């Protein structure tokens, strides 16, 4: 049986503990939603103020050269590459994940049409994040293809001679279940198809080895585990074997080989730079760079491997405490127990009689300063979910203890049944 003292001891022994000081966290808040919006790095406000007052305010347009604004997408891309097992010059930080998905799906489908003409199928997971499915749906419509949605255990059987492209999110946003990137990529390649990975819940959360696992394309999010701030620029990667083959449809001037030649015809820049479209948001990129630097500060302490070890210890502890202390109230475990299949979050499924229960429990926790979130389900296969993200940079073992104690209080007291906790907000 784990005790509060055990948790305090784990914090005292944690070599990553000093990284928490790189963040500004409000008093009285236990923040378990870094899988949705990462916390504020302590360096960000001053850096953003510097970009605004000095670089923009004083340098004005000269800052594109003097403050090196022009190369920010590549500079940040190289930092992201260190977190996802990619090489320098292979990643750019730009646009949103949704927009980048449109670009990579278009590029991948064009390559597939050349290499394996006649293949008409894009396969993805039914519980993939909706924006991925919506973007794939519209591309399928545009190109006369078919989008087939399957459950995880049906993926292997869907890798056949009809498949052009497999599009998966590495760590599922609802359950926190993690796919085996190397095995699925190899299986899709063996079937003659390409693979696009969404790393929204992986980058900065779990070790990723894009080159080693031989992936084709990847996109990911800047505002979750990369701590880049709300709506931060996302990122995009392409394997060097496709570097000179792929074209993307949003052929804006920043992806041109010579943007300042101002010639009328489009000529894509070499490599990943062609994934840029328009003028890049420098204030947002500066904030994202502060977030990236919080993760890179872990490199001398063991980097992603050390963060992963702590993340698994935190999620193991949370699972064990919930089972010990919150049993009998209708909560189940939606996240796999096997470490190899778990991202950096724990999702609890709701099987209580009150359909609004999962949402209301999360609201009651938020009112107590324990911030997780809720994701609606659509039945027994995909139940309503309470999500708790564990960002090892700033979440400690004692935080986990107190979060579970609050959850236990909310459940045993029936506090969550209060009408105010059932009132739906626009953003959950
Ligand atoms: C897997 C996944 N992909 C994409 C997104 C969001 O994309 P965007 O940044 O375009 O809103 C999310 C957001 O939570 C996500 O979980």
The domain of 234 spans 68-296
Q: Per the residue annotation, which of 119, 216, 387, 388 is the catalytic one?
A: 387
Of 255, 271, 296, the position where a domain reaches its end is 296
Closest ligand 1 atom, CA of 169? 1
CB 108 within 8 A of CB 194: yes
Q: Does residue 54 lie in a domain region?
A: no
Q: Per the residue annotation, which of 102, 173, 217, 223 is the catalytic one?
A: 223
Rounded alpha-carbon distances, angstroms, from residue 154 to 158, 164, 170, 224: 7, 17, 16, 29
∠ CA 396-3-337, nearest 5°, is 65
Has 223 been annotated as catalytic? Answer: yes
> pLDDT tens for residues 100-136?
999 999 999 999 999 999 999 999 999 999 999 999 9
Q: Per the residue annotation, which of 31, 102, 129, 359 is the catalytic one?
A: 129
Counting the structural domains of the chain, the total is: 2
Strand ranges, E, within 143-233: 146-150, 163-169, 194-198, 217-220
Q: Does residue 275 lie in a domain region?
A: yes
Has 225 been annotated as catalytic? Answer: no
The distance from CA 140 to its chain's CA centroid, rounded to whole angstroms, is 24
∠ CA 61-65-70, nearest 5°, is 95
CB 175 within 8 A of CB 381: no
> What dihedral do alpha carbons 362, 406, 21, 86 form, nearest 10°?
-50
Q: Whose CA is nearest to atom 8 of ligand 1?
A: 97
Ligand 1 binding pocket includes 199 (Cβ within 6 Å): no
Angle 397-413/357-367 helices, nearest 10 degrees?
120
> pLDDT tens for residues 283-307?
999 999 999 999 999 999 999 999 9
What value does the CA radius of gyration of the chain take, rounded to a whole number of Å?
A: 22
Contacts of 54 by beta carbon, 8 Å cutoff, 6+ apart: none
- The sign of the dihedral angle between the CA atoms of 228, 166, 92, 297 is positive
> CATH number for the domain including 309?
3.90.1150.10
- Specify whether 158 is located in the same domain as 211: yes
- Specify whether 16 is located in the same domain as 107: no
Q: Does residue 247 lie in a domain region?
A: yes
- Specify whether 308 is located in the same domain as 201: no
> Which of the listed residues 34, 35, 173 should we mutate to test ligand 1's pocket, taking the one with most ligand atoms within 8 A of CB?
173
The distance from CA 270 to its chain's CA centroid, rounded to whole angstroms, is 27
Ligand 1 binding pocket includes 63 (Cβ within 6 Å): no
pLDDT at 426: 83
Ligand 1 binding pocket includes 188 (Cβ within 6 Å): no
Query: How far does the centroid of ligand 1 lie from the alpha carbon of residue 224, in Å?
Result: 9
- Specify whether 316 is located in the same domain as 185: no
- Specify whether 277 is located in the same domain as 345: no
Strand ranges, E, within 61-130: 91-94, 121-125
CA distance 105 to 103: 6
Ligand 1 binding pocket includes 97 (Cβ within 6 Å): yes
Rounded alpha-carbon distances, angstroms, from residue 221 to 36, 98, 229, 358, 383: 10, 9, 11, 26, 25
pLDDT at 351: 87
With CA atoms as reference, report the closest residue to 51 among 73, 67, 40, 75.
67
CB 124 within 8 A of CB 136: yes
Name the residue with tokens 């405490």.
321
Query: How far does the centroid of ligand 1 lie from the alpha carbon of residue 44, in Å?
Result: 22
Q: Does residue 47 lie in a domain region?
A: no
Has 224 been annotated as catalytic? Answer: yes
Phi, psi of 74 (to 5 degrees): -75, -40
- Specify whether 109 is located in the same domain as 235: yes
Ligand 1 binding pocket includes 200 (Cβ within 6 Å): yes
Start-to-end CA distance of the chain, whole Å, equals: 34
Ligand 1 binding pocket includes 232 (Cβ within 6 Å): no
Ligand 1 binding pocket includes 341 (Cβ within 6 Å): no
Query: How far does the centroid of ligand 1 lie from the alpha carbon of residue 238, in Å?
Result: 19
Q: Does residue 175 lie in a domain region?
A: yes
Of 248, 263, 296, the position where a domain reaches its end is 296
- Specify whether 84 is located in the same domain as 116: yes
Has 388 been annotated as catalytic? Answer: no
Has 31 been annotated as catalytic? Answer: no
CA distance 178 to 206: 9
Of 296, 323, 345, the position where a domain reaches its end is 296
Ligand 1 binding pocket includes 98 (Cβ within 6 Å): yes
pLDDT at 381: 82
- Specify whether 28 is located in the same domain as 111: no
Query: How far does the centroid of ligand 1 lie from the alpha carbon of residue 222, in Å?
Result: 10
CA distance 95 to 399: 34
Closest ligand 1 atom, CA of 98? 10
3 state DSSP class of 281 = coil
Q: Does residue 137 lie in a domain region?
A: yes
Name beta bridge partners: 389: 345
> CATH number for the domain including 132?
3.40.640.10
- Specify whether 227 is located in the same domain as 252: yes
Q: Does residue 60 lie in a domain region?
A: no
- Specify whether 247 is located in the same domain as 108: yes
- Specify whether 280 is located in the same domain as 374: no
Q: Per the residue annotation, which of 198, 213, 373, 399 is the catalytic one?
A: 198
Tens-digit pLDDT string for the chain (428 aa): 899 999 999 999 999 999 999 999 999 999 999 999 999 999 999 999 999 999 999 999 999 999 999 999 999 999 999 999 999 999 999 999 999 999 999 999 999 999 999 999 999 999 999 999 999 999 999 999 999 999 999 999 999 999 999 999 999 999 999 999 999 999 999 999 999 999 999 999 999 999 999 999 999 999 999 999 999 999 999 999 998 888 899 999 999 999 999 999 999 999 999 999 999 999 999 999 999 999 999 999 999 999 999 999 999 999 999 999 999 999 999 999 999 999 999 999 998 888 899 999 999 999 999 999 999 998 778 899 999 999 999 999 999 999 999 999 999 999 999 999 998 888 87
Query: How far does the centroid of ligand 1 lie from the alpha carbon of residue 132, in Å?
Result: 8
122 DSSP 8-state letter = E
- Specify whether 262 is located in the same domain as 225: yes
Phi, psi of 335 (to 5 degrees): -95, 140
Q: Does residue 56 lie in a domain region?
A: no
């Amino acid at each position: 049986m784990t005790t509060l003292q055990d948790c305090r001891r784990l914090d005292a022994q944690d070599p990553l503990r000093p990284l928490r000081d790189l963040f500004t966290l409000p008093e009285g808040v236990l923040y378990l939603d870094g899988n949705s919006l990462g916390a504020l790095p302590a360096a960000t406000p001053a850096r953003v103020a510097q970009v605004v007052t000095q670089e923009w305010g004083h340098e004005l347009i000269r800052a594109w050269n003097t403050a090196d604004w022009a190369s920010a997408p590549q500079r940040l891309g190289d930092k992201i590459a260190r977190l996802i097992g990619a090489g320098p010059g292979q990643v750019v930080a730009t646009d949103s994940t949704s927009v980048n998905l449109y670009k990579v799906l278009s590029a991948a489908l064009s390559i597939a049409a050349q290499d394996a003409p006649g293949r008409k199928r894009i396969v993805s997971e039914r519980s993939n994040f909706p924006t991925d499915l919506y973007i794939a749906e519209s591309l399928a419509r545009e190109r006369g293809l078919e989008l087939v949605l399957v459950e995880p255990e049906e993926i292997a059987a869907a890798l056949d001679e009809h498949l052009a492209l497999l599009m998966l999110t590495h760590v599922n946003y609802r359950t926190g279940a993690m796919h085996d990137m190397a095995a699925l990529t190899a299986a899709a390649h063996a079937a003659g198809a390409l693979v696009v990975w969404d790393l929204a819940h992986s980058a900065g959360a779990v070790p990723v080895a894009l080159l080693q696992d031989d992936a084709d394309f990847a996109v990911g999010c800047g505002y979750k585990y990369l701590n880049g701030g709300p709506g931060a620029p996302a990122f995009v990667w392409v394997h060097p074997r496709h570097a000179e083959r792929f074209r993307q449809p949003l052929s804006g001037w920043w992806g041109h080989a010579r943007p300042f030649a101002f010639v009328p015809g489009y000529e894509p820049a070499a490599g990943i730079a062609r994934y840029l479209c328009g003028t890049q948001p420098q204030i947002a990129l500066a904030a994202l760079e502060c977030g990236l630097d919080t993760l890179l500060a872990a490199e001398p302490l063991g980097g992603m491997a050390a963060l992963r070890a702590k993340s698994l210890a935190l999620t193991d502890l949370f699972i064990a405490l919930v089972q010990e202390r919150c049993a009998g109230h209708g909560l189940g475990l939606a996240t796999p127990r096997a470490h190899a299949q778990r991202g950096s979050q724990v999702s609890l499924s709701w099987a209580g009689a009150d359909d609004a229960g999962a949402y209301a429990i999360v609201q009651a926790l938020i009112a107590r300063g324990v911030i997780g979130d809720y994701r609606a389900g659509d039945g027994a296969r995909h139940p309503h979910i309470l999500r708790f993200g564990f960002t090892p940079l700033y979440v400690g073992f004692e935080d986990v203890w107190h979060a579970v104690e609050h959850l236990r209080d909310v459940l045993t007291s029936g506090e969550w049944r209060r009408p105010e906790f059932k009132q739906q907000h626009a953003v959950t």
